[in-house]
Structure 1
Amino acid sequence: MTKLDGKVALITGAASGMGKAMALGYAAEGAHVVIADLNVEGAQAVVAKITAAGGSASARSLNVADEVQSKEIVDAIVAEHGSLDILVNNAGIGLIKPVWETTAAEWDRIFSVNVRGLFFLTQAACEPMRAQKSGKIINMASIAGRRGEALVAAYCASKATVISITQSVAMAMAPYGVNVNAMAPGIVDTPYWKEVDKQFGEITGKSEGETFRDAAAGIPLGRTSVPSDVVPLAIFLAGSGSDYITGQTYNVEGGIVMS
């Protein structure tokens, strides 16, 4: 048996990057994976890759900032599959901007996805998991949530809040046998980081790729992350090996932040 046989997993923002990598990893371990993303075409491409490899997956459109959609997708999954065993809150957005130039609208947009969206999708998932008296919730935090950064204040604040929410929900769901943990990636070579590099360059005057190279130089393990680096931990936190672990945030970033 593989580690996640018979489990039903919902992963947000799974059309690309780390979400896609986790979806492929979960499917390889026997889970049925629901790929939820605003990019439905990309989500369907991930489903096609999983099914071609003999796995099981489906694609759904989801705007995590809309709590009605979050409730609807959880209800639909439970109606179709009978359970929701794993939720990975991976969807997120960023902003690179000086503190004194960040607008209220930009702040609200970051928090609408990274915090509000994560919380209310988690809330929706808690209902079937409480009834099942089992489940695994995995939130994507960031090393940005471990410390502030001058040009990333809103994003850092949102990811610090994710760590706090992880702890609160872990305490609330512990009596129901549900484990809630988080992962904090670092500098990951994804399309998202290419946009981050571009935004940093517009502010600092650095050339394309220079911010990414500078960040890589400070990683003790000597390289930046790739999306597959988070997969082993994501599988562990979704499986039975983490049954006695809850409320924790694990750094997966090559040693940048040692805590």
Structure 2
Amino acid sequence: MTLPTEFDLTGHTAIVASAGGDETPALAAALAEAGADVFAVARHSDATDAIRAAVTAVTGKDTHGYTGRWDTPADANALLSAFADAHTRADILVNDTRSFFAKPAAEITLEEWDELYTRNVRATFMLSQAVGQRMLAQQYGRIVNVISNLAERGIHNCSAFSATQAAVLSLTRSLAVEWGRSEIRVNAVGSGWSTAEDIPLENQREELLVRYTPMRRKGHPRDLAAMLVYLCSPHCDYPSGQPVYIDGGANAHP
């Protein structure tokens, strides 16, 4: 995609953390296309490799990464140690760490609730804290949390997942307030029902949730990419603490 010069990320390093979703490689590739040097992070090697491959496809160069957990201080520090072996600055952090979970509220176990919070909320906080310390020291940073539009709406069988997304949204706003004077901007990109596949519209519209969405189609990672690049750019200097929902109008639907 052709980018305005204000969105140029050349010379900036981005840590992109993934829960394994199929949209993260495309988002990382968009940052790389804008000039950022991407450091891939995921719990499992196949997800890390997918991000690195997507970046290489755009840049023609290999990129570094880390595979493992980051939901404790020790794990987050190990991740940052691996990052420091290849990079000196952390300019951008993208937390795309949503693990989806659906189950009737009356049937959710405490173990399931705690594990989901560990993956979706604690991991996001631990990495934001670890990277944020570097950003505070350098007096600059851009953090973008990729969330679901369920952060602000309810749906059957998604009480636990929705609660984690609302927690990350609240964290986004709080960090924006706390770190704003250090030239750190913290925002969120909210997605709706999406797919990384190019599915014909007539097939998509057979699904109930697509028929509910005003635009009558699923989202695609490319719908989020340009907004993500903007939120990660130096030009994004005044917006902070904001969720931007790119969901085909679903959040506007009553």
TM-score w.r.t. length of structure 1? 0.86
Pairing 1:172–2:178 present:
yes
- Separation (CA, whole Å) in 1 of partners of 2:191 and 2:58: 27
Corresponding residue for 1:240? Answer: 234
- Quote the offset at 1:164 in angstroms: 0.4
Corresponding residue for 1:38? Answer: 43
Pairing 1:163–2:169 present:
yes
- Separation (CA, whole Å) in 2 of partners of 1:119 and 1:210: 35
- Quote the offset at 1:74 in angstroms: 2.2
1:87-106 correspondence runs (5 A): 87-106=93-112
Change (3 A) 1:12 1:153: same
Higher helix fraction (1 or 2): 1
Q: Percent identity?
A: 28
- Quote the offset at 1:21 in angstroms: 0.9
Q: Which moved more, 1:151-160 or 1:42-51?
A: 42-51
- Separation (CA, whole Å) in 1 of partners of 2:99 and 2:19: 13
CA contact (8 A) 2:195 2:220 kept: yes
The number of residue pairs the alignment matches comes to 242
- Separation (CA, whole Å) in 1 of partners of 2:206 and 2:67: 31
- Quote the offset at 1:19 in angstroms: 1.1
Q: Tell me the amino acid that sits aligned with residue 136 of structure 2.
A: R
- Separation (CA, whole Å) in 1 of partners of 2:159 and 2:239: 30
CA contact (8 A) 2:73 2:126 kept: yes
1:56-89 per-position Cα deviation (integer Å, ceiling 9, x unaligned): 5222103233432222222432453110000001
Q: Tell me the amino acid that sits aligned with residue 144 of structure 1.
A: L
CA contact (8 A) 1:44 1:58 kept: no
Q: Tell me the amino acid that sits aligned with residue 22 of structure 2.
A: G
Change (3 A) 1:127 1:3: same
Q: 1:48 aligns with which of 49, 53, 59?
A: 53
CA contact (8 A) 1:148 1:157 kept: no
- Separation (CA, whole Å) in 2 of partners of 1:212 and 1:36: 35
- Separation (CA, whole Å) in 2 of partners of 1:78 and 1:252: 33
Return structure 1 stretches of 4+ with deviation > 4 angstroms: 209-212
Structure 1 portions without partners, runs of 5+: 192-208
Corresponding residue for 1:253? Answer: 247
TM-score w.r.t. length of structure 2? 0.88
- Separation (CA, whole Å) in 1 of partners of 2:136 and 2:119: 24
Corresponding residue for 1:23? Answer: 28
Change (3 A) 1:109 1:212: farther
Structure 2 portions without partners, runs of 5+: 198-202
